[in-house]
Amino acid sequence: MKHLTATLVLGLAALPLTALASANCPAHPKSEWVKEGDARAKLEEQGYKIRKFKVEGQCYEIYGWNKDGKKVEIYFDTKTLDIVKAEIEK
Q: Where are the domains of the chain?
A: 21-88
DSSP annotation of 29 reads -
Q: What is d(CA 70, CA 9) in angstroms, rounded to the nearest whole number?
A: 31
- Record the pTM: 0.75
The model's pLDDT over 7-48, given as tens digits with 9 standing for 90+, comes to 434 444 444 444 445 799 999 999 999 999 999 999 999 999
In CATH, 21-88 is 3.90.930: no
Distances in whole angstroms, Cα of residue 19 to Cα of each of 22, 33, 37, 68, 76 = 6, 23, 26, 28, 17
CB 47 within 8 A of CB 67: yes
Nearest to 23 by CA among 90, 73, 79, 88: 73
